[in-house]
Amino acid sequence: MERLGSVIATAASPTVTQATAAARAARAAGADRVEVRLDLLAPGQDPHALLSLAQEMPLLVSGHRDGLRPHEGPLLKRAQSLGAWVDVPFGEAEPERAAGLDPSRLVVSWHDMNGTPPDLGALLSRLRSRRAAAYKLVPTASDVSATLAVLSLLDRERGRGDLCAFAMGTPGCPSRILALAWGSIAAYASAPGCEPAAPGQMALGDLLSVYRPRGLRRTGPLYALAGWPLGFTRTPSFFNPWLEQARLPGRYVPFPCTNPRELLDSGLPLAGVALTIPHKGTASSLAARASRLVRRAGACNTLVAEREGWIAANTDVYGVRRALAGVPRGIRTLVLGCGGAAAAAALAMGARGPVGVAGRDDAKTKAFAFQFGAEPVSWDQRGSIAWDLLINATPVGREGDEAPYPLDALSGRWVLDMVVREGSTPLLRAAAERGLEAIPGEGMLVPQAALQFRLWTGRRPSTGAPMVPLP
C-alpha cells in the first residue's frame, strides 16, 4: 500500500500560482509529500487547477480543520481520483462516507487550537473508529507537559504504523522534531516561501537541514535547551552540524519549559541540558553537585549527565571572555541586568577593571553588586554613567525596536549585546552607527556552546565550519 510519506510540506498560499511554485520547491528541497490547503485559497481561485499537482508529485489535499464544507467533498473525491491522499476533520457526521472517499488514501484528523486533553489515548480510539489509512492527532501545547504527553502516546502506539501526532504552538516544537523518532508516520513543515500553516510549524529547510529528523533515533542521545519563553535560538544551527561532523548520534533540540525538573524527569534520553532565561539562577538545585564556577557565579547554564546524577556547570563566563578577548585591561564596564548572564559578565570582567551594574530592581542590583564587587547603578541613571564597555545581559532587544540603554547616550568604545537576533539588535545597530565596536551575541554564544559540546561529548567541535543558514 502507498505510504503517506515521512516529511510533509504544507504549501499554504492564497493563490494557485503561489501554491504550485511552493509545492515544487518543497519537493526539490526533499519533502516526501506536499499538502495543499483548499481552505486557504483566496476567493476566485480555481481549486481544480491545484488538484492537478497530484499528476506530478505525491499530494495531500485538505480543507477546513473545523469541519468539511459542502463544496470540499467533491473536490477531495476528485483529488483521490487523480492519485492524491486527502485529509478530513474528525466529526460525528462522518463526512468521508458522505463524500464517498476511499479509506486507503484517507487521513482522519483532529486539531485542538486551545490545549491538550488529559486522555489522548481515548481520543485516538475514537479516531480509529473510522475507516482510514492514517490518523492525525494534533493538540496545542502550553508547556513541555503537552509535548511529553504526545511523545508518550507515540511511543505506546509505534507498532500500529497509522498515527501522525505532534503538538502545535512554540512549546510543541520539540514534538515536531522528535515525532518520526518516536513513531509518528509523518512530520509537517512549511513549504519554501510559505508562512507557517499552524502555530509552531517550522520551515522545511530548518527541519531537514538543522534537525535531520529522518535519521534521529528514539534512543538518543538528546541535548536540550531549556528556557521560557523560548523563541528564536541560533544554537541548533551550529550544534547539530557539530554532531554530524563528529559522526556522533543525537540532536540538540530546544525545549520551551517553565519547569526544567519536568524535562529532567521525563525519561527522555538526555545527555546534556543547556539553560537559558529564566532558569540559570535555579538550575544548580537540580544537580547532584555544582562546579566551583557555578558556586561563584550563583548561576548554571549547563547540566552534564554523569553516573551520580546531573553536574551543574557554567560555560557563559568562558563565552564572555572569548567574545571580549580583544578588549584590554583597565577599562570601565557597565553591565545591564542582574541575572545569570550578568553574573558571567561580572565575573569575566571583574579582573580587568571596575564594573558597574544596572538593574530595574534596586534591591537586587545592590545585592548583585555586593556579590561581585561591582558598583550599583540606578536603572534611571544608567545613561549618565561613563563606561568603555557596555554589556547587555538582559533579554531586551529580542523583539521590536526597544533597546536596554538610551541610544542617544552611547559614548563608550565597545558594546556587547548577549541577545542573539536575526539582523542584529537595536542596540548593536545604534552602536555601529555611532562608531563603536559592536560585538554580537554570537561572539559569546558559539564559544560557550563549544565548551558545552566538549563537556557533553568529550570532543572538540569543528567551530570553523559554517553554520546552517536560517531564513
Residue pair 358/378 in contact by the 8 Å Cβ criterion: yes
Segments in 53-143 forming alpha helices (H): 72-81, 95-98, 120-127
Strand 302-306, strand 270-275: pairing: antiparallel
Burial of 243 (0-12, 13-18, 19+ CB in 10 A): buried
Distance CA 417, CA 225 (A): 20
- The contacts found for 288-293 with CB under 8 angstroms, 24 or more apart, are 293/317, 293/347
Q: Where is 456: in which H helix or E strand? A: helix 442-457
The values of phi and psi at residue 392, to 5°, are -90, 110
φ, ψ for residue 201, nearest 5 deg: -70, 130
- Whether residue 333 contacts residue 356, with contact meaning beta carbons closer than 8 Å, is answered with yes
Residue 91: phi and psi, rounded to 5, are: -160, 165
| Residue 44 CB partners (closer than 8 Å, separation 6+) | none
**Cell triple for residue 429?**
545597530
Q: Pick the closest to residue 73 from 91, 50, 95 (CA basis).
A: 95
Grid coordinates belonging to 374: 561591582
Q: Are 225 and 260 in contact (CB under 8 A)?
A: no
**9 dihedral zone (left: phi>0; alpha: psi -120 to 50; beta):** beta
Residue 377, classed as helix, strand or coil, is: strand
Q: Which of 77, 280, 364, 366 is catalytic?
A: 280
Query: Cell numbers 473545523 label which residue?
Result: 66
Residue 280 designated active-site: yes
3-state secondary structure of 107: strand
| Rounded Cα gap, residues 36 and 192, in angstroms | 13
- Closest by CA to 316, choosing from 343, 291, 289, is 343
Catalytic residues: 280
